[in-house]
Chain A
Amino acid sequence: MTTATVGKKRASRLNFTNLFRWVVGSVAVVVIFYGSIKSVASGRLSWAQWRDLMVFGVAQGSVYALIAMGYTMVYGVLRFINFAHGEVFMSGAMIGYFVADALNRAGIWNEQPVVSLLIVLLVSMTTATSIAVILERVAYRPLRGAPRLIPLITSIGASFTLQYLFRGLFGAGTKAYPPMAAIQGKWIIFGIPILKSQVIVIGSAIVVMAGLYLFVEKTKTGRSMRAVAEDPETAALMGINVDGTIVKVFAVGGAMAGVAGALWTLVFPTVNFFSGFLPGIKAFTAAVLGGIGNIFGAMLGGVSLGMFESVGPSLVLGGYEVPAFNQLKDVVAFSALVLVLIFRPTGILGERLAQERG
């Protein structure tokens, strides 16, 4: 008797949600296609402008991808969303600013641009890595095995704490990186003129992510990370130091966020205590979009989200002649998150984790 009723319940539930998904999905598809066709047909933007938007999207997206690495790796191992990861990213950019400022005042910033950028990158990475590791030690490690909402709420608290700690320490004002003459202007790559800063961002992101991929796939540490992600208990039985591996995962995620922090300031050269929030959420979206727990997915998701966010408002909303559609670019990103979670919670490459019972 019970099985029959349960079966019936389940069927009705699926019908209800499926109906909902179907309706929302078809509306979304129609809206997106109609808007895109209209705005392309209107010819408001030239091909060169679309192309610039796309390149900008890729640059922005590769930073999202770098931040998303931290979410995806931590999620893969601990099955929880490290809400404070956006603040780890912000901390790198923030401390990097003080170094850049000091270099600028010492006159090195414009004289030795490569060295300066490398120093900022290194400082940003070190800061972000240490913050991520401290966070793990203080806030997350004592909560291993706690009910799922508890580490999540802790990470929200950690995010808030870091934001307002940085606000208290360094002031609430927005800090502007000193401009660097060497990265102004454009390079022509495959016949396409691209802003130098964007070339650097995309190039470094590719190098770093390739490095990360090799690290995870080819080294012993990477293998132990994958083993812990697969099954921590068995990994422990095989002689892997689970706690140590988790610390390394946080460290690698933090280092990626540090790189992202340094690169982000090449595209958007300002930082304040709140500037980790939105990139953090969007990077999470990117991780989900690509399939959380999957490193390739995070790369793919980051770049797609960056493109979508930069092209989407003009393409879709512009078609409907929505006034001031650029204000709504975050709405586009968040809608992408909601739509992905409704239709493909597994992401592009991921397995079905969004509904898995942890």
Chain B
Amino acid sequence: MERAATAAEPLDDLLPAPVLSLQRAVRFGLIGGMAAVVVAAIGMVETFEARTLIDPFLALGLTTLYLASFTFGFVAGSPPPEREGFAKPKAGLRSLAAGAIAGVLAGVVLSAFMLLADAVNLRNIFVSVSPQLLELLTFGKGLGTGILLVLVVSTAVGVAGSAVHLIPAQVRRPIMYTVMWVLLVGLLQSVIEPVFRGLGLPSLIDVLYEEAGGLRLAGVVIVAAAVFLLSFFLGGKGRALQGRLDALPAQRRRSYISILLLVAAAIVYMIPRVVGPFLSEVLDLAGLYLLMALGLNIVIGYAGLLDLGYVAFFAVGAYTTAILTSPNSPRFTPEMTLWASLPFVVLAAALAGLLVGTPVLRMRGDYLAIVTLGFGEIARILLNSDALKETFGGAQGIINIPNMVIGPLTVRGPEVFFYPIFIFAILAGYVSLAIQNSRMGRAWMAMREDELVAETMGVNIVAAKLSAFVVGASLASIGGALFAVKVGSVFPSSFNIVVSITILVLIIVGGMGSVPGVTVGALALVALPELLREFNEYKFLMYGILLIFMMLKRPEGFIPSKRRALELHQDEVLQDAWLQIYGDEETGPQEEGV
């Protein structure tokens, strides 16, 4: 209480606000410059430049390069943290100066790199540092003018980054949205074009896009206007709508919701028809990853068991399906249909889950990670080996897996395959959500927090751990079965450790334990690189950086589950609680003294 009173006092006795230090700006400028150099040296700029965002002048390559200056200009210009007893720091000219310093330094580092690349042939070591790259970096104007331009552009971008802090918050949001959407619409040309064509609006394509790639200026204006108006008028209306829906009487609400569900189902039904085969293929892939990610989400997100060999269960599903259904599998001659084999697939995966789960029952988190990684590698090597060629086909894998047949219908082609994948993903999502609040789900979460306490409270740790492994493995195996049937063949090389890590990234970025988070993660991180070929080359690098970034800045993920976010920020909550107690104690003795 007393604290609140002092905080509300007039501002006279506050010390002047802390100011931005030069050292900070210099540091971020140098880091930004190094980031830009790395982006250039790994060939990202050159590869990305092929994608034009806005027709005449803006392509993805240089945008990515100067994103470094922008970001670090933004960071350098951000006002220092508020300190108790000091006036609230405000963004001002100093922010702009900090942004400019960061921008200049980033430009200097980049220029130094350009000079070096010009003087020495770095190509023997850095494969991507080519004369073409240098030409791109100098804007094709020769080294001298080029360096000048780099310095000017980098400084301007750095200032622009820091200027973001000066824009009042109400305006900042619509502007940010507009810029983001314009860039996104430019980026996703290959997605938007077939969609418009599928919707029967081919004329709109010509208005928006240049034929050779990139948004037209008219397109930029249209997108910007649309987004700006929408965000201006609709901003915050979503919650109001939700509120109104909640306020309705139960029966009417139910009917509204069922209508909404019907509409959603109709839209989903239309999706593959509208987007065409290529996009459907990408969605299928994202759906398969989503299915696996939901399974791993149970193991990691709910039960807190870091399983790095998860791809093994996917492999068990795929290979069991292949062996049981394909006439080419050497060992089992009586072939089954997919549906007849599915129970065996799940059973096999559950057994595999037990097999992996039992030895690791008493291991702690980090050991568990390495051992499961070992299991994943063992599975892959065994599938690949000549020793078990009779069963698994060795490196040649198993081919000729028959198509999925539903009644009279043969499911063939990515557009049709979208439906079973979608249905299974929905089922998996439903199971995840239902299990989250079940007795088992609560037992998992208790175990994740503290095994000993959970056990004392009556949670059977053995059962909880094994069931997490079994449920997770079953979901992955269904993904594997769908994968095998979809591709029509299985090869050991598809079950690499990289798959396990990718699924881990989806979960971490989306939010551990959060079903919507995992869904968005799968769409953004699997579908996007698949759509934009040039991203594909760098996707694992981005995954790695994302993992570090998320753990450092947002361990609960972008769309966190409520409980998880609370746990991870427990320290802060605790600190606040401690402050309150401390505050009370402070007043306590005083009262006694009086």
| Chain B: minimal CB distance from A210 (Å) | 28
A309 to chain B, nearest CB (A): 13
> Of A138, A149, A152, which is in contact with the most chain B CB atoms at under 10 Å from its CB?
A149
Minimum Cβ distance to chain A for residue B42 (Å): 3
**Is A6 a contact partner of B370 (Cβ separation < 8 A)?**
no
B42 touches A324 (CB 8 A): no
Distance in Å: Cβ of A342 to nearest Cβ of chain B: 5
Q: How far is the CB of B308 from chain A (nearest CB, A)?
A: 7
Q: Does B250 contact A (CB under 8 A)?
A: no
Residues of chain B contacted by A142 (CB below 8 angstroms)? 552
- A346-358: CB near B (< 8 Å → 1, else 0) gives 0000000011111
Interface 0/1 of A158-181, CB less than 8 Å to B: 111111110111110000000000
A338: B residues at CB distance < 8 A:
359, 371, 374-375
- Are B385 and A153 in contact, CB atoms less than 8 angstroms apart? no
Q: Which of B38, B370, B548 contacts A157 (CB 8 A)?
A: B548
Whole-angstrom CA separation of A243 from B546 in the bound complex: 26
Q: What chain B residues lie within 8 Å of A162 (beta carbons)?
A: 544
Q: Does A9 sit at the interface, judged by CB under 8 A?
A: yes
| B547 interfacial by beta-carbon distance below 8 Å | yes
B126 with A170: CB separation less than 8 A: yes
Q: Which of A81, A171, A322, A331 has the most CB of B within 10 A?
A: A331
Of the candidates B125, B306, B366, B455, the one having the most CB atoms from chain A within 10 angstroms of its own CB is B366
B116 interface residue (CB < 8 Å to A): no
B381 and A165 within 8 A (CB): no
Residues of B within 8 A of A143 (CB): 551-552
Whether A323 lies near B540 (C-beta < 8 A) is: no
> In the bound complex, do residue A170 and residue B552 qualify as a contact, i.e. CB atoms below 8 Å apart?
no
Inter-subunit contact B42/A169 (CB<8 Å): yes
Q: Scan B492-518; emit 1 where CB is below 8 A from any A CB, else 0.
A: 000001000100100010000000000
- Taking CB atoms and an 8 Å cut-off, the chain A residues in 322-341 that contact chain B are 322-325, 327-328, 330-331, 334-335, 337-338, 341
Report whether A331 and B42 are in contact in the complex, using a CB–CB cutoff of 8 Å.
no
B456 within 8 Å of A (CB atoms): yes
CB-CB contacts below 8 Å: A129-161 with B: 138-139, 142-143, 146-154, 156-161
Q: Which of A12-20, A59-67, A264-272, A295-303 contacts B (4 or more CB under 8 A)?
A: A12-20
Contact with A along B303-315 (1 / 0, CB 8 A): 0101010000000
A187: Cβ under 8 A from any B Cβ:
no
- Residues of chain B lying within 8 A (CB to CB) of residue A153: 306, 504, 508, 547, 551
- Name the contact of B461 in the complex, choosing from A13, A168, A327, A354 (C-beta under 8 A): A13
Return B173 CB to nearest CB of chain A, in Å.
Answer: 29
| Chain B residues with CB under 8 A of A331 | 378, 381-382, 385
B593, CB-defined interface residue at 8 Å: no
Of the residues B367, B547, B567, B568, contact of A156 by C-beta under 8 Å: B547
CB distance from A38 to the nearest CB of B (A): 16
Interchain CA distance A358-B451 in the complex, whole Å: 12
> Residue B131 at the A interface, CB < 8 A?
no
B362 touches A17 (CB 8 A): yes
How far does the alpha carbon of A129 sit from the alpha carbon of B119 in the complex, in Å? 29
User: A139 and B548: CB pair below 8 A?
Assistant: yes
- The answer to whether A354 and B378 touch across the interface, beta carbons within 8 angstroms, is no
Q: Does chain B have a CB within 8 A of A345?
A: yes
- A355-B551 CB under 8 A given contacts A6-B456, A165-B42, A327-B386: no
Closest to B376 in A: A334
Give the Cβ gap from A74 to chain B, nearest Cβ, in Å.
Answer: 11
Given contacts A143-B551, A157-B551, A169-B126, whether A152 and B544 have CB atoms under 8 Å apart is no
Q: Which residues of B contact A325 (CB under 8 A)?
A: 387
Q: Mark A118-136, 1 if CB is under 8 A from B, else 0.
A: 0000000000000000000
Tell yes or no: B490 within 8 A of A by CB. no
The interface residues of chain A lying within 8 Å CB-to-CB of B410 are none
The reply to whether A148 and B387 form a contact with Cβ atoms under 8 Å apart is: no
Is B59 part of the contact surface with A, judged by Cβ < 8 Å? no
Residue among A163, A324, A345, A357 making CB contact with B387, cutoff 8 Å: A324
Residues of B within 8 A of A56 (CB): none
Which residues of A sit under 8 angstroms from B462, Cβ to Cβ? 13, 16-17
Complex contact B367–A168 (CB within 8 A):
no
Find out whether the CB atom of B371 lies under 8 angstroms from the CB atom of A337. yes
User: What's the minimum C-beta distance from B34 to chain A, rounded to whole angstroms?
Assistant: 11
Query: Are A337 and B370 in contact, CB atoms less than 8 angstroms apart?
Result: yes
Partner of A168 from B43, B125, B387, B455 at Cβ < 8 Å = B43
Residues of A within 8 A of B375 (CB): 334, 338
Q: Are B547 and A154 in contact (CB under 8 A)?
A: yes
Which residues of chain A have C-beta atoms less than 8 A from B126's C-beta?
A: 169-170
Say how far B556's CB is from chain A's closest CB, in angstroms. Answer: 11
A171 adjacent to B370 (CB under 8 Å): no
CB nearest to A2 among chain B residues:
B456
Interface check A80, CB cutoff 8 A? yes
Chain B min CB distance to A122 (Å): 18
* A163 CA to B508 CA, complexed, in Å: 20
Residues of chain B lying within 8 A (CB to CB) of residue A152: 306, 365-366, 369
- Residue B127 interfacial (CB < 8 Å): yes
Q: For chain A residues 286-328, which have a beta carbon within 8 Å of chain B?
A: 288, 317, 322-325, 327-328
Check B378–A334 contact: CB distance below 8 A: yes
A45 beta carbon closer than 8 Å to chain B? no
Q: How far is the CB of A105 from chain B (nearest CB, A)?
A: 9
Q: Contact partner of A139 among B38, B362, B552, CB < 8 A?
A: B552
Contact of A327 among B38, B127, B385, B546 (CB under 8 A): B385
**Shortest beta-carbon distance from B390 to chain A in Å:** 10
Q: Which residue of B lies closest to A154 (CB)?
A: B551
The distance from the CB of B36 to the nearest CB of chain A, in whole angstroms, is 14
Contact A9–B385 (Cβ < 8 Å): no
B367: chain A residues within 8 A (beta carbon): 81, 288, 341, 345, 354
Give the distance to chain A from B65, nearest Cβ to Cβ, in Å. 14
Binary B-proximity of A9-48 (CB < 8 A = 1, otherwise 0): 1100100110010001000000000000000000000000
- Give complex CA distance A162, B382 in Å: 28
Q: Is B190 an interface residue (CB 8 A)?
A: no
A305 to B: closest C-beta gap in Å: 13
Q: Is B458 a contact of A5 with CB atoms below 8 Å?
A: yes
Q: Is A89 an interface residue (CB 8 A)?
A: no
Instruction: Give Cα A199–Cα B428 distance, bound, in whole angstroms.
Output: 57
A281 proximal to B (CB < 8 A): yes
Does A50 have its Cβ within 8 Å of any Cβ on chain B? Answer: no
- Asked whether B254 is an interface residue with its Cβ less than 8 Å from the other chain, the reply is no
Is B366 a contact partner of A281 (Cβ separation < 8 A)?
no
Which of chain B's residues have a CB closer than 8 A to the CB of A284?
370
Taking CB as reference atom, which chain B residue is nearest A339? B359
Q: Does B41 touch A at the CB level, under 8 Å?
A: yes
With beta carbons under 8 angstroms apart, the residue of A2, A161, A334 that contacts B541 is A161
Scan residues 106-154 of chain B and give those whose CB is less than 8 A from a CB of chain A: 124-128
Q: A161-B541, A322-B387, A323-B387 are in contact. Are A81 and B370 (CB under 8 A)?
A: yes
Residues of B within 8 A of A164 (CB): 538, 540-541, 544
Question: Shortest Cβ distance from B303 into chain A, in angstroms?
Answer: 12
In contact, B373 and A281 (Cβ under 8 angstroms) = yes
Cβ of B541: which chain A residues have Cβ within 8 Å of it?
A: 160-161, 164-165, 167-168
Collect the chain B residues with CB atoms within 8 Å of residue A81's CB: 366-367, 369-370
Q: Which of chain B's residues 414-464 have a Cβ closer than 8 Å to chain A?
A: 451-452, 455-456, 458, 460-462
B371 touching A330 by the CB < 8 A rule?
Answer: no
Check: B340 CB closer than 8 A to any chain A CB.
Answer: no
Of all chain A residues, which has the CB nearest B304? A149
Task: A9-B455, A24-B359 given; name 19 further pairs at CB < 8 Å.
Answer: A17-B462, A20-B359, A146-B555, A148-B366, A149-B304, A149-B306, A156-B369, A156-B547, A161-B544, A169-B38, A171-B127, A281-B370, A328-B385, A330-B381, A331-B381, A334-B375, A345-B363, A357-B451, A357-B452
Supply 11 A–B pairs (Cβ within 8 Å), ascending by A.
Answer: A139-B548, A143-B552, A157-B546, A160-B540, A288-B367, A331-B382, A337-B371, A338-B359, A338-B371, A342-B359, A355-B363
10 nearest CB pairs, A to B: A157-B547, A168-B42, A160-B544, A161-B544, A164-B541, A334-B374, A171-B127, A324-B386, A157-B548, A154-B551
